[in-house]
Amino acid sequence: MTNDSWWSDAVVYQVYLRSFADGDGDGVGDLAGLRARLGHLVDLGVDALWLNPCYVSPQRDHGYDIADYFAIDPTYGTTDDLVDLVAEAHRLGLRVLLDLVPNHCSTEHPWFREALAAPVGSPQRGRFVIRDGRGPDGALPPNNWQSVFGGPAWTRLADGQWYLHSFDASQPDFNWRDASVRAYFEDVLRFWFGLGVDGFRIDVAHGLVVAEHLPDLPTDGAVDRHPMWDQPEVHEIYRTWRRIAQEYRPDPKYFIGELWVDGTERLRPYLAPDELHQAFCFDLLVQPWDADRLAGAVRSGLATADDLGAPAAWTLNNHDVHRVVSRYGQVQDLSAPDPQDLLAAARRTGPVDLAVGAARARAAVMLLLALPGSVYLYQGEELGLPEVLDLPDDVRQDPIWVRSGGRELGRDGCRVPLPWRADAPRLGFSDPTGAAPWLPTPDWFAGYAVDRQARDDGSFLALYRRLVRGRREVFAPGAPLRWVDHPDPDVLAFTRGAGLCLVNVGGDDLPLAPALEQAIVARSGAAGGLVRDSAVWIDTARVPGGLRSVAWDVPSGAGAPARA
Ligand code: NOJ
């Protein structure tokens, strides 16, 4: 498999391993379960898979707290199983990306244990951000930084010093100003690359280095650069990593960053040709179902991609946000998302109209898969799974739930094990004679099971399969997007190659000109026009007389001049 820019228009399927499929009956998904079901990804037509962290971990943050970066957690299998999985995936034409977590490890990582046992000021302590506290007896944390998961970002050690953790207290931050940390991660990269892994998603890629003197965050939050994030020294690290990635010929390795930085200028250095290949475009994910807001996010994502020369990586779902069906099924909040907490917009709760949410989610993925760039899908979205909002409190495991004292539901509801077979015990996720799934699967998940949807031409799964497999037939890879001026302000309309994508984000059903109607190659909603909350793909080569001859069959009946 060679093609050194395979990722630039790929569809990548995110596997949250512990919830994908359980091969050994312990109630937790694993590599054997995934391997047995790689056919699901092949049937979907995706190009690659991204595996959430599956290294040795005490699982306080389900693998984002790593105790051994060089081995697979026994719950998931062995390192040999991973090698076999990669080989099998490659045989099936799928690339494999792992998740790299360089910002922090687990308190059970041997280095952190050594640091605790070592004296103040020792090289072992120097691998972490460990400092004296403030106040006469050092009982106050070194500064006022807050953890992303809530509460202070510092925890005190038995000897009175404090360690930094941007996330949970079980996830101590590495000190990236320490040469041994840098060397360690270079070894980690080479180890997994050497085993055939094609690339990495980099966790909190803007977070590795913190401001040198650990300044307080001004209480009004007014800083040009938050001292915990996006420090200029991080770029040297990525330049080294990219050099390592390029050593693999003829198939260089690939990096995509989880980067929460503000605006194109801040993103620019990360996506320079000698750093990371791509960054997730989260702006679209946090928007409500509103034509202007969605179009705005697409425009800015494309402008950034063009400006930086790095194809956009679109996504609507991942393991950190509420599932899109539930987000779009709520009353849409049109206020601007809080720039300090964008994820709040993607984890809002409220009453959900699932039928509305499902229609919008189907239309939205048609938008996504028509755009230039790559698309990251999250397991279960191809089934139209909603967020499970009513998990019992005592089964919830997310540190966000725990650290917020139950005020925030957190992310368990998008991590519920997948339903494979509607009539099988445990919905086919795991062996019925084994342990119960690690999170309970609600009975109503049966209605979303893969086997049921595979038999139904109108299902989410059938739609996803048609779209993923068919998108390149009309939306030629690399072809630029051209907006089309549609008279209805609630319709997003654009062409790319021979494809025309129309998305009706408004509340009214709209008619379509017969010339368009007969050239439809995919639709998300009911037949006959462009019904509300739906999208269509049209093959313009099949429109008699071409697109310019079409009068848009809406009340104003205008033509179709290009908008930009
Ligand atoms: C971002 C990951 O996506 C999330 O799941 C994790 O909890 C944090 N980083 C901390 O690693």
Residues 6 or more apart whose Cβ sits within 8 Å of residue 521: 470, 473, 474, 499, 537, 538, 539
Q: Whose CA is nearest to atom 3 of ligand 1?
A: 320
Give the Cα separation of 95 and 49 in Å (integer).
Answer: 6
Measure 117 CA to ligand 1 centroid, in angstroms: 28
Structure tokens at 327: 């987000």
DSSP labels, 234-253: HHHHHHHHHHHHHTS-SS--
Residues 6 or more apart whose Cβ sits within 8 Å of residue 239: 274, 275
Per-residue model confidence as pLDDT tens digits over 279-300: 999 999 999 999 999 999 999 9
Evaluate: CB of 280 within 6 angstroms of ligand 1: no
- Dihedrals φ, ψ of 522, to 5°? -155, 145
Residues 6 or more apart whose Cβ sits within 8 Å of residue 365: 316, 377, 381, 463, 464, 467, 524
Evaluate: CB of 100 within 6 angstroms of ligand 1: no
Taking alpha carbons only, the member of 127, 250, 257, 243 closest to residue 190 is: 243
The owner of tokens 């691998």 is: 127
The SS3 call for residue 295 is helix
Q: Would you say residue 387 has pLDDT above 60?
A: yes
The closest-lying atom of ligand 1 relative to the alpha carbon of residue 103 is 11
Per-residue model confidence as pLDDT tens digits over 160-199: 999 999 999 999 999 999 999 999 999 999 999 999 999 9
Measure 348 CA to ligand 1 centroid, in angstroms: 18
Give the Cα separation of 162 and 242 in Å (integer).
Answer: 33
Per-residue model confidence as pLDDT tens digits over 347-385: 988 999 999 999 999 999 999 999 999 999 999 999 999
Q: Would you say residue 563 has pLDDT above 50?
A: no
Q: Whose CA is nearest to atom 2 of ligand 1?
A: 203
Structure tokens at 17: 């391993």
The per-residue pLDDT of the chain, averaged, comes to 95
Taking alpha carbons only, the member of 275, 53, 341 closest to residue 267 is: 275
Report the range of poorest mean pLDDT among 13-17, 169-173, 548-552: 548-552
> What pLDDT score was predicted for residue 553?
53
Measure 48 CA to ligand 1 centroid, in angstroms: 21
HEC string for 65-86: CCCEEEEECCCCCCHHHHHHHH
Q: Whose CA is nearest to atom 11 of ligand 1?
A: 64
Q: Please state the rounded mean pLDDT for residues 26-30.
A: 98
DSSP 520: E
Q: Would you say residue 561 has pLDDT above 70?
A: no
Q: Do 257 and 279 contact (CB within 8 A), yes or no?
A: yes
Q: Would you say residue 516 has pLDDT above 80?
A: yes
Q: How many CB atoms lie within 10 A of CB 362?
A: 23
Give the Cα separation of 418 and 430 in Å (integer).
Answer: 10
Give the Cα separation of 52 and 411 in Å (integer).
Answer: 14
Evaluate: CB of 149 within 6 angstroms of ligand 1: no
> What pLDDT score was predicted for residue 550?
84
Give the Cα separation of 522 and 464 in Å (integer).
Answer: 10
Would you say how long the chain is, in residues? Answer: 564
Give the Cα separation of 53 and 452 in Å (integer).
Answer: 30
> What pLDDT score was predicted for residue 551?
73
Q: Whose CA is nearest to atom 5 of ligand 1?
A: 320
Evaluate: CB of 203 within 6 angstroms of ligand 1: yes
- Dihedrals φ, ψ of 551, to 5°? -95, 125
Q: Would you say residue 302 has pLDDT above 80?
A: yes
Query: Which residues participate in catalysis according to the annotation?
Result: 203, 247
Evaluate: CB of 412 within 6 angstroms of ligand 1: no
Structure tokens at 81: 């199983």
Evaluate the CA torsion angle 36, 42, 44, 50 in order and state its sign. positive
Report the range of poorest mean pLDDT among 127-131, 191-195, 236-240, 397-401: 397-401
Give the Cα separation of 429 and 420 in Å (integer).
Answer: 6
**Rg (the chain; Cα; Å):** 24
Q: Do 386 and 361 contact (CB within 8 A), yes or no?
A: no
- Name the residue of 18, 170, 203 whose CB sits within 8 Å of the most ligand 1 atoms, as the mutation to test its pocket: 203
Is the full-model pTM beyond 0.85? yes
Evaluate: CB of 255 within 6 angstroms of ligand 1: no
Q: Please state the rounded mean pLDDT for residues 442-462.
A: 98
Reported confidence tier of residue 545, pLDDT bands at 50, 70, 90: confident
Q: Which amino acid, 530?
A: L
Reported confidence tier of residue 224, pLDDT bands at 50, 70, 90: confident
Pairing, β 374-378 against β 491-496: unpaired
Q: Do 375 and 315 contact (CB within 8 A), yes or no?
A: yes
Q: Provide the H-helix boundaries in 31-78.
A: 31-36, 38-44
> What pLDDT score was predicted for residue 303?
97
How distant, in Å, are the alpha carbons of 26, 45, 61, 258 from that of 320?
24, 24, 11, 12
Evaluate: CB of 101 within 6 angstroms of ligand 1: yes
Give the Cα separation of 370 and 63 in Å (integer).
Answer: 33
Q: Do 301 and 307 contact (CB within 8 A), yes or no?
A: no
Reported confidence tier of residue 227, pLDDT bands at 50, 70, 90: very high
Give the Cα separation of 516 and 548 in Å (integer).
Answer: 11
